[in-house]
Amino acid sequence: RKEVEQDPGPFNVPEGATVAFNCTYSNSASQSFFWYRQDCRKEPKLLMSVYSSGNEDGRFTAQLNRASQYISLLIRDSKLSDSATYLCVVNRFHFGNEKLTFGTGTRLTIIP
Amino acid sequence: NAGVTQTPKFRVLKTGQSMTLLCAQDMNHEYMYWYRQDPGMGLRLIHYSVGEGTTAKGEVPDGYNVSRLKKQNFLLGLESAAPSQTSVYFCASSYPTSGVAETQYFGPGTRLLVL
């Protein structure tokens, strides 16, 4: 089983719609969680951290469920510019050092 | 600030050739990382460094070597390139505080093709 699993998609969603992605992780010792965004042929960039209480940043809402070991990302009122691949990232400490594990990404295309 | 830069942006090698990828950051970050990204595999950590003069193996270190002689630079070397090393290579840096993971800032990537 992969340490971090995501539905690869693609998700093709009309502009203005709401879309949600889930991500599951296998290591219960994982400590920090993030969503990164990666545009085609570009580097990943941090979209938002994910906190236990859930957090919101504009149209984006992230949730963490430690008991079920999954993370979600909700995008409301989707824009054309939201088209990208969304990477779920999980961090834990491994022999005193951080270890980030990246999911393979969920590809989202917003359709006009 | 330039952030994280990588040199070169694109390279074609023949099997058995060697090369060095350079990563530089101007954010005074302690931690630096080298990843490779392949279709369907996600980003995989090759080597990383928690400070000047230190390096450690990541998930897929075989066939690569690294050096961190200066805090701002992290070099990735391929001694004898193989077609399996065809990939996109990303460098990243971060400044962890209080033992909590901080944002990793990525360079623009190096596309390597080994024939």
Determine the Cα–Cα distance for residues B91 and B107; give it in Å rounded to an integer: 5
Taking residues B33-62, what's their average pLDDT? 92
Q: Phi first, then psi: what are they for B103, rounded to 5°?
A: -60, 135
What pLDDT, on a 0 to 100 scale, did the predictor assign at position A71? 95
What pLDDT, on a 0 to 100 scale, did the predictor assign at position A96? 56
The 3-state DSSP class for residue B59 equals coil
A108-112, B79-83, B94-98: lowest mean pLDDT where? Answer: B94-98
B33 within 8 A of B104, measured Cβ to Cβ: yes
What pLDDT, on a 0 to 100 scale, did the predictor assign at position B102? 67
A17-21, B27-31, B52-56, B94-98: lowest mean pLDDT where? Answer: B94-98
Task: Please determine, for residue A31, whether its predicted confidence score (pLDDT) is greater than 90.
Answer: no
Taking residues A24-45, what's their average pLDDT? 91
Q: Hey, of A31, A37, A43, which one would you mutate to test binding to chain B, going by the most B CBs within 10 A of its CB?
A: A43
In this prediction, residue A51 has a pLDDT band, given cuts at 50, 70 and 90, of confident
Task: Please determine, for residue A82, whether its predicted confidence score (pLDDT) is greater than 80.
Answer: yes
Task: Please determine, for residue B39, whether its predicted confidence score (pLDDT) is greater than 90.
Answer: no
How far, in Å, are A26, A73, B13, B61, B105 from residue A98 at the CA level? 17, 23, 32, 16, 15
Chain position carrying tokens 């203005």: A16
Nearest CA in chain B to A32: B101
Degrees (nearest 5) of the Cα angle A64, A76, A82? 95
Task: Please indicate if any CB of chain A lies within 8 Å of the CB of B107.
Answer: yes
In this prediction, residue B95 has a pLDDT band, given cuts at 50, 70 and 90, of confident
Distance to chain B for A68, nearest Cα, Å: 22
Task: Please indicate if any CB of chain A lies within 8 Å of the CB of B113.
Answer: no
B41 within 8 A of A105, measured Cβ to Cβ: no
Nearest to A43 among B40, B103, B109 (CB): B109
What average pLDDT does chain B have? 92
**pLDDT tens-digit readout, B7-38:** 999 999 999 999 999 999 999 999 999 999 99
In this prediction, residue A52 has a pLDDT band, given cuts at 50, 70 and 90, of confident
Task: Please indicate if any CB of chain A lies within 8 Å of the CB of B98.
Answer: no
A→B contacts (Cβ < 8 Å), by residue, are 4, 8, 31-32, 34, 41-46, 87, 91, 93, 97-100, 102-105
Determine the Cα–Cα distance for residues B56 and B98; give it in Å rounded to an integer: 21
What pLDDT, on a 0 to 100 scale, did the predictor assign at position A94? 61
Q: Token pair of B61, please?
A: 């270190």
| % of chain A residues with pLDDT over 70 | 95
Spatial CA neighbour of A42 closest among B21, B33, B109: B109
Flag if B106 and A43 touch (Cβ within 8 Å). Answer: yes
Distance to chain B for A48, nearest Cα, Å: 9
Nearest to B42 among A31, A32, A104 (CB): A104
| % of chain A residues with pLDDT over 90 | 75
Question: Which residues of chain B does A32 touch, with a Cβ-Cβ cutoff of 8 Å?
Answer: 100-101
Determine the Cα–Cα distance for residues B112 and B36; give it in Å rounded to an integer: 10
What pLDDT, on a 0 to 100 scale, did the predictor assign at position A93? 65
Beta strands in chain A (DSSP E): 4-6, 11-14, 19-25, 32-38, 44-50, 55-57, 60-65, 70-75, 84-94, 97-102, 106-111
A111 within 8 A of A51, measured Cβ to Cβ: no
Running DSSP on this structure, what letter comes out for residue B112?
E
What pLDDT, on a 0 to 100 scale, did the predictor assign at position A29? 82
